[in-house]
Amino acid sequence: MSNEIKCPYFDMRIWLRSCEKEICKPMEGRITGDIPTWIYGSLIRNGPGLMKIGDDEYKHIFDGSALLHRFAVYNGTVTYQCKFLCSRTLEKNRAANRIVVPEFATKSVPDPCRTIFDRFASIFNPGEHMTDNAVISVYPFGDEVYALTEVPIMFRIDPVTLDTLERKNLMGSVVMSHTAHPHVMPNGDVYNIGAHSVKGRLKLLIVRFPYKEKGDMFKSAEVVATVTPRWFFHPTYMHSFGISENYFILIEQPMSLSISKYIMCQMKDEGAASALNWYPEYETHIVLVNRNNGRVKRYRTETVFFLHTINCFEENGNVVVDLCTYNNAKILDVMYVDAIKKNYSDIDYMKWCSTRPKRYVIPTEEPDMTLLTPMLIVDVPCEMPRINYEMCNGRPYRYFYGLRADVDNINSGGLLKVDTITGDIKTWRAPNSYPSEPVFVARPGAIEEDDGVILSAVLWGDKENTVDLLVLDARTFTEIGRATFETPSPAPKCFHGWFLSNNPTFTK
């Protein structure tokens, strides 16, 4: 008998599916149950849709070519379509029929036409040489919609056809890198955190993109605060950040990018992953940046790794920071293609996936470097957290929604609703199902925080050419209805998305 440790409840190989045929014309879904007629808009999602180019295979699920998905909901019906983002990276790879542009963890094949001078030049003009595969998320900027990743090259997309319309290179003009999760404020302004060289020294910049109903929000971008990073030549890896009424919240974890190693990656056509380092001997810092005067205060806490903030808010003179935390950065190793193919043969694999939602209460009057002791929100692994964003982002809240992240539990991969006050948990799970992050959509005129629905794109382990749009009642967390689509080729997993609501531009 084999001594291999295998997870019986969650098969990560769902991430290795590739879309072989785009769906350009929206296809009608088969409705089961009831789709509320008040849901009117489009759920746009983004994620890796192609894991091979010719005979070359990507090494990490962060590397797959970006595939955009659209579920259009109107009058109780749903349509689905998907289309690849037309990045320069995809165009170059397809033309060569191999991977010629390095990704996060994938080294490109040597290009015989690229001289040592080209490689050297790429250091000074990285925006034209690095990957522009914007595979992580989708966000609105005013009346426009953009696909993003952590490299500050964004693509404006048509939210109806999913056509790629425009490439925006913020490299040099605003930042050299940014998070994949900006914040959209109630007035339409957008904030993000990026890194840039200021007078020859690396700085973290908080950038505001002022709202414009029509036109380019990027031309009027402004730096509203500057933060000296913890390590000058090893900036912290930061996938997301927090915001509250009076503060920007940055989490400087001991996962850093070595600038010198990254330059060598550029020269050798290697992925940035080899320039990342995890330093378990260092604590994690939570940095508060005052939105009114730019003043910076830094606090210490236990060593944790994180990808996603849940929410941040102010209460009783404290700043409350809720995060999905890991004990270390091994979750990035979990997502390597080779690790996924081994089907959990490493006994530590399941431990690496385990994450817990923790709360950090920061007394703002305490001095710099005060040590914070977190509290556990619930003792259940959660990831891909979402909230009632319009009502609660940066404000006190009660509920968040997410995916159950323990791959060795019978409820693994299920959807969760967490009550942060009582600790009550509601779960949706179906056998062999693989839902995406739960996106909350409020009922028109809703007053209560959880008065609305949860939307999630669901894949099935035994039906790779099927994708459902699941609709749950956000209060009871029970299924209201779903739309099922039989796709002409495998339906890939996706990362993040945005619901564009109550605007005829975004509907069929």
**Could you report the per-residue pLDDT of 327-367, keeping only the tens digit for each?**
999 999 999 999 888 766 565 777 788 899 999 999 999 99
In a domain, 6, yes or no: no
In a domain, 204, yes or no: yes
Residue 290 pLDDT > 60, yes or no? Answer: yes
pLDDT for residue 351: 78
In a domain, 104, yes or no: yes
Q: Are strands 137-141 and 30-33 parallel, antiparallel or unpaired?
A: unpaired
pLDDT for residue 353: 81
**More confident call, 126 vs 75:** 75
**69, 82 contact by CB (below 8 A):** yes
pLDDT for residue 176: 64
**51, 18 contact by CB (below 8 A):** yes
**Residue with structure tokens 């036409």?**
113
What is the domain count for the chain? 1
In a domain, 286, yes or no: yes
- 7-45 confidence digits (pLDDT tens): 657 788 899 999 999 999 999 999 999 999 999 999 999
Could you give the CA distance from residue 378 to residue 33 in angstroms, rounded to a whole number? 32
Residue type for position 260: S
In a domain, 5, yes or no: no
Domain that holds residue 121: 12-506
Average pLDDT rounded to a whole number, residues 480-485: 98
Could you give the CA distance from residue 23 to residue 465 in angstroms, rounded to a whole number? 12
Alpha-carbon distances of 194 from 153, 173, 191, 250, 369, rounded to whole Å: 12, 12, 10, 11, 23
In a domain, 4, yes or no: no
- 359-401 confidence digits (pLDDT tens): 999 999 999 999 999 999 999 999 999 999 999 999 999 999 9
**491, 17 contact by CB (below 8 A):** yes
In a domain, 147, yes or no: yes
For 3, other C-beta atoms within 10 Å of its C-beta total 6
Tokens of 25: 């014309």
Average pLDDT rounded to a whole number, residues 221-231: 93
The percent of residues in the chain predicted with pLDDT above 90, rounded, is 76
Out of 64-73, 164-173, 281-290, 330-339, pick the least confident.
Answer: 164-173
How big is the chain by its Cα radius of gyration, in Å?
A: 22
pLDDT for residue 121: 44
pLDDT for residue 199: 72
Residue 304 pLDDT > 80, yes or no? Answer: yes
Out of 132-136, 460-464, 499-503, pick the least confident.
Answer: 499-503
- 105-129 confidence digits (pLDDT tens): 999 986 555 544 454 445 445 555 6
**367, 399 contact by CB (below 8 A):** no
pLDDT for residue 505: 43
Out of 179-193, 225-239, 441-455, pick the least confident.
Answer: 225-239
Quick one: which of 479, 466, 467, 402 has its CA closest to 439? 402
First CA to last CA distance, the chain: 55
- 420-444 confidence digits (pLDDT tens): 999 999 999 999 999 999 999 999 9
- Average model confidence (pLDDT) for the chain? 90
**More confident call, 24 vs 1:** 24
In a domain, 405, yes or no: yes
The DSSP output letter for 41 is E
Could you give the CA distance from residue 429 to residue 459 in angstroms, rounded to a whole number? 12
Out of 51-55, 335-339, 438-442, 466-470, pick the least confident.
Answer: 335-339
pLDDT for residue 267: 78
Report the DSSP beta bridge partners of residue 55. none
